[in-house]
Amino acid sequence: MSGSKARGIKPPNILIYSGHDDSSVSRFSQVNDLIRHCINQETYTVYHLKHEHLFKTPWQDNTALLILSRAEATPEVDDVFYAFLKQKANVLSFQSSFERKFVDVKKCKVPTPIIQLSYKEWRDVNLLSSGRTYGRSETVSPEGTDFVGFGTSKDDALIGKVSFGGNKAILCQASLDNDLSNENLNQSQFSTLKESNSSKLAVLTDLLRVLGVDCSAGDPPKLTPAYLLASDDEQIREFLESFSRKLKDNCLK
């Protein structure tokens, strides 16, 4: 069965694997919040793929997209992700060891805390630097690997796209998966990075679309009636008075 047909019958689950170190839970929370800003939340359910579940639960058959965030894994674990890409569905990797199966990951010649990403129509997007870029290698780069996002020069490849049969992987050294409030930044760095927040989300959304994710806004939830139950009229009066002070144009915002 082709990759596209397989994806067509998959439950709409997105799984995030963030390693198994002490920061894996907080890292999942960061990525989860960002992804939810980009996807149609009525279409997908986002789960944390915990390390202890990798070999114990049948997660592969229930996943439309696997996201790897800063996951330095063992070769055995990366082989699991490689098999998933080959046989099941798409992968989005942020600065994970899995990427070395396709490209060389090399240190920047002149490391700086902030880089400027150029990807499609987005230019000079300020992002936190990982200190690494991608390079081609005859020993690991398969056919179908293209670099599509760059730093200040074409030698600084930051985003790669791998076509693997009917499936795709996006490899990303650009820090699109982080929350600035959790980074150790001075005020100048924070302000510079914050200026590119909307472009950062736009790039992330486009990468998800490339991987077949529905990023439409979805239909707004239907309004349903609410009922107030209280033991006496005085409680109702006090509640309504308190509630009315929070309304603006008869709306609670």
The pLDDT confidence band at residue 237, using thresholds 50, 70 and 90, is confident
* pLDDT tens string 206-230: 999 999 999 997 655 566 677 777 7
The whole-number average pLDDT for the span 128-137 is 88
Q: Residue 76: helix, strand or coil by DSSP? A: helix
> By mean pLDDT, which of 33-37, 71-75, 161-165, 224-228 is the weakest?
224-228
| Residue 139 and residue 146 in contact, taking contact as beta carbons nearer than 8 Å | no
What is the pLDDT at residue 121?
Answer: 97
d(C-alpha 172, C-alpha 187), whole Å: 26
Domain tally, the chain? 1
C-alpha distances in Å from residue 84, one per residue of 46, 166, 169 = 17, 12, 11
What is the pLDDT at residue 201?
Answer: 95
Within-domain flag for 235 = no
The whole-number average pLDDT for the span 132-139 is 82
d(C-alpha 128, C-alpha 74), whole Å: 26
Within-domain flag for 222 = no
**pTM listed for this prediction:** 0.80
Give the residue numbers spanning the domain of 62: 3-210
Within-domain flag for 19 = yes
What is the pLDDT at residue 4?
Answer: 41
Structure-block tokens of residue 177: 């998966």
Within-domain flag for 173 = yes
Within-domain flag for 251 = no
Instruction: List the CATH number of the domain containing 168.
Output: 3.40.50.880
Within-domain flag for 204 = yes
Structure-block tokens of residue 79: 């082989």
Within-domain flag for 171 = yes
Asked if the model's pLDDT at residue 188 lies above 50, the reply is yes
What is the pLDDT at residue 132?
Answer: 93
- The per-residue DSSP string of 50-73 comes to -GGGTTTS-GGGG-SEEEEES---
| Residue 136 and residue 105 in contact, taking contact as beta carbons nearer than 8 Å | no
Structure-block tokens of residue 138: 């005859």
Structure-block tokens of residue 126: 């300020």
| Residue 119 and residue 204 in contact, taking contact as beta carbons nearer than 8 Å | no
Within-domain flag for 103 = yes
Q: Residue 211: helix, strand or coil by DSSP? A: coil
